[in-house]
């Protein structure tokens, strides 16, 4: 018996060993998740649901006034079990027959081992819950490296395959390499020997566009801080901002044109197009440096913002006495404050919403937007 007790100490530690002694004396009732309470043993107790007696390890001892029985109780959902060892001496005589006690201890060790494994699983669940509780958009470090949302179980879209040895720097090169035949989707592109993922629009106006922003349903939060807009956030096949770092690199490596596609809640669509589009680096607060000639059907609601620095809720770089990013619930090249606001609050008819004033006025929030760039030479 002493050897078995020493084995228990080695296997489960002093804390669990003390718990074993309590189990042998007072019993334990389990709920589906935790130990409900300890209680004094009763002769052959019938536990409350969901605990059931699944097997007995020894029979009643055939001695007058003495009963020795060990029952194993298990949760009906399989989450755990515990052993009750009952030795009842109704005549005050010492118990002379401990038949089944060793088997009971063995079963108890098995139960404790199962509980230990269950506790490990619980710790993993707690770690996962903590991770889920701090989700913030699923960002990976680095420009253009957009991952899945940590709060979402859906996987990241796999980049479309590119031929071995081919390292396209933009979507236009992907399209040209395929002789004008390439599907829209996520591709791996390369800039200054570094790769990044981007969504290529291969359908609009001949294709070859890198999409840098998309709004579709309001599920992605765009009221974010400077760091989030610097590195990018969201899901490339849904709503996202590509990241000011990578937008700066793309627009300063060659001349690019900008196209902005807009849609209202009635299904009407329009667009605005600019022959040149370039922003400054972080030292210039990603200033809207260059905006070429306008064409399109939406009206020009971006020219008012030319030359302005990027502003977010925590970085106020506008020309207004009020903080435009906070007032307009977004991030943009705010002036005093805005004629357009494509990163504003999602929702119909909100003044701090997704605004393109020259098309729908100052208080109509749009349903969907896409901002996309491609090399100016692509015709």
Contacts 24+ apart (CB under 8 A), 306-311: 306/333, 308/333, 308/334, 308/335, 309/280, 309/284, 309/285, 309/333, 310/229, 310/244, 310/279, 310/285, 310/286
Helix (H, G, I), strand (E, B), or coil: what is residue 237? coil
Boundaries of every domain in the chain: 8-44, 47-92, 171-375
| Contact indicator for 317, 335 with CB cutoff of 8 Å | no
Rounded Cα–Cα distance for residues 150 and 206 (Å): 35
- Three-class SS state of 16: helix
SS3 140: coil
What tokens were used for 296?
């399109």
Where b means 16+ CB within 10 Å and e means fewer, 135-149 reads: eebbbeeebbbbbbb
Question: Which secondary structure element, helix H or strand E, spans residue 126, and what is its range?
Answer: helix 101-133
Q: How far is CA 328 from the centre of its chain?
A: 26
Tokens of 327: 């007032």
Q: What is the pLDDT along the chain (379 residues), one digit of tens a residue?
A: 555 544 444 544 444 444 444 444 434 333 333 333 333 344 434 343 343 444 444 444 444 444 454 444 444 444 444 444 444 444 443 444 444 555 555 566 566 566 656 666 666 666 655 554 444 433 344 444 443 334 443 344 555 555 567 789 999 999 998 888 899 999 999 987 789 999 999 999 999 999 999 999 999 999 999 999 999 999 999 999 999 999 999 999 999 999 999 999 999 999 999 999 999 999 999 999 999 999 999 999 999 999 999 999 999 999 999 999 999 999 999 999 999 999 999 986 778 999 999 999 999 999 999 999 999 988 6
Domain 171-375 sits in CATH at 3.90.215.10
**Ordered DSSP codes for 253-285:** HS-EEEEEEEE-TTS-EEEEEES-EEE--GGGT
The closest alpha carbon to 332, from 373, 363, 304, belongs to 304
Q: Two tokens at 319?
A: 């020309």
Q: What does DSSP assign to residue 59?
A: P
| CA pair distance 163, 187, nearest whole angstrom | 12
Q: What is the structure's pLDDT at 74?
A: 47
Across-strand partners of 70?
A: 85
pTM, whole model, 2 decimals? Answer: 0.61
Residues 6 or more apart whose Cβ sits within 8 Å of residue 313: 223, 224, 225, 323, 325, 326, 331
């Amino acid at each position: 018996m002493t050897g078995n007790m020493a084995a228990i100490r080695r296997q489960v530690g002093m804390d669990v060993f003390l718990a074993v002694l309590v189990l042998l004396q007072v019993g334990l009732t389990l709920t589906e998740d935790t130990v409900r309470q300890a209680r004094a043993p009763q002769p052959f107790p019938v536990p409350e649901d969901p605990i059931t007696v699944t097997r007995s390890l020894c029979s009643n001892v055939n001695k007058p006034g003495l009963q020795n029985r060990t029952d194993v109780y298990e949760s009906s959902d399989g989450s755990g079990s515990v052993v009750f060892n009952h030795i009842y001496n109704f005549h005050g005589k010492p118990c002379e027959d401990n038949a089944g006690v060793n088997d009971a201890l063995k079963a108890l060790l098995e139960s404790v081992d199962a509980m230990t494994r269950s506790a490990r699983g619980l710790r993993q669940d707690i770690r996962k819950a903590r991770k889920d509780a701090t989700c913030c958009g699923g960002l990976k470090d680095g420009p253009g490296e957009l991952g899945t949302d940590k709060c979402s179980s859906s996987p990241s879209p796999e980049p479309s395959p590119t031929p071995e040895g081919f390292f396209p720097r933009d979507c236009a090169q992907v399209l040209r390499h395929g002789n004008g035949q390439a599907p829209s989707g996520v591709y791996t592109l390369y800039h200054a020997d570094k790769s990044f993922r981007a969504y290529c629009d291969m359908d609009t106006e001949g294709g070859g566009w890198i999409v840098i922003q998309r709004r579709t349903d309001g599920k992605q939060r765009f009221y974010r801080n400077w760091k989030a807009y610097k590195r990018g956030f969201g899901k490339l096949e849904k709503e996202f901002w590509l990241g000011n770092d990578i937008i700066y690199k793309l627009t300063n490596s060659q001349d690019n044109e900008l196209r902005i596609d807009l849609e209202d809640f009635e299904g009407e669509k329009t667009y605005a197009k600019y022959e040149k589009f370039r922003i400054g680096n972080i030292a210039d607060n990603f200033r809207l440096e260059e905006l070429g000639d306008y064409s399109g059907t939406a009206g020009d609601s971006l020219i008012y913002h030319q030359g302005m620095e990027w502003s977010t809720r925590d970085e106020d770089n506008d020309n207004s006495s009020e903080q435009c990013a906070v007032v307009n619930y977004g991030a943009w090249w705010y002036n005093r404050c805005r004629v357009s606001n494509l990163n504003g609050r999602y929702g119909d008819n909100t003044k701090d919403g997704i605004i393109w004033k020259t098309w729908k006025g100052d208080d109509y929030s749009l349903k969907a937007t896409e901002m996309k760039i491609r090399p100016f030479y692509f015709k």
